[in-house]
Amino acid sequence: MKKNKRIVVFASGSGTNFINIYNNVRNGKVILLISNNPDSGAVTYAIKHNIDYKIINNFRYPVKKNRYSEYEIILNDYKPDLILLAGFMKKIPTSVIQLYTNKIMNIHPSLLPKYGGRGYYGIKVHEAVMKSGDKLTGVTVHFINDEYDRGPIIKQEQVIVKNNDNPLTLSKRVLKKEYSLYLKVVDLFCKDKIEIKGTRVVINE
């Protein structure tokens, strides 16, 4: 029998994607939360449910070199098979990306490459979609690389923009899609059904 994959989640905010993954992941187990925000909903949930967590931020590690080294030290201790970014508001160090190539996923609330990159996060993405007049938006799960939201796309799902939508109503529907799609992709990874061929992702469903 295959062992469950070991999963580390990075989150900065309310932690709803982290909570959804923790409670619903199959063939994997969340073993650690890493956050830059000790007051976040994600950390509150981790404390309440006895989930290991670590805080890495500029206050605790003001020297960048030490801060980046701490990521590597902690991850080496926990030895994850998969790292999930779930609303993490800091850029992952290049050294960590290289150590865990094609093992770090992110979820983004648009159909990348549209509305991706620096400055496009959270409600700002939905505001941009509404302003553009697009009739379709969606969710993208991708592996990360050194460029914001430019790593190989694993899976996308569409969300229709309704005539009476505003950024908030749209964000709520997109978030529901995030929950289901992230779990779907994580499950595929945990069952070893995702391959990387060059820069292309192949899913063997």
118 and 28 in a single domain? The answer is no
Domain extent for 12: 1-100
pTM above 0.85, yes or no: yes
Question: Sign of torsion, CA 107 109 110 113?
Answer: negative
2 within some domain = yes
Same-domain status, 66 and 120: no
In what order do the strands lie in the sheet containing 153-160? 53-55, 28-35, 5-10, 82-85, 104-108, 136-143, 153-160
User: Are 79 and 124 members of one domain?
Assistant: no
Q: Which of 80, 110, 101 is nearest to 10 (CA)?
A: 80
Residue 203 lies in a domain: no
- CATH code (residue 59): 3.40.50.170
Token pair for residue 67? 């801060």
For residue 135, give the DSSP letter: S
How far is residue 146 from each of residues 93, 97, 128, measured CA to CA in Å?
8, 7, 24
Please state, as a whole number, how many other Cβ atoms lie within 10 Å of the Cβ of residue 194: 20
Per-residue pLDDT 10s for the chain (205 aa) are 568 999 999 999 999 999 999 999 999 999 999 999 999 999 999 999 999 999 999 999 999 999 999 999 999 999 999 999 999 989 899 999 999 999 999 999 999 999 998 888 889 999 999 999 999 999 999 999 988 888 999 999 999 999 999 999 999 999 999 999 999 999 999 999 999 887 789 998 7
Looking at the structure of the chain, the number of domains it has is: 2
Residue 136 lies in a domain: yes
- Residue 33 phi/psi, 5° resolution? -110, 135
Last residue of a domain, one of 100, 128, 145: 100
Identify whether residues 60 and 111 lie together within a single domain. Answer: no
The string of DSSP codes covering 11-74 is --SS-HHHHHHHHH-SSEEEEEEEES-TTSHHHHHHHHTT--EEE--TTT--SHHHHHHHHHHH
Give the residue numbers marked as catalytic.
Answer: 108
Q: Where is the domain boundary, 34, 66, 100?
A: 100
Domain C-terminal end among 66, 100, 134: 100
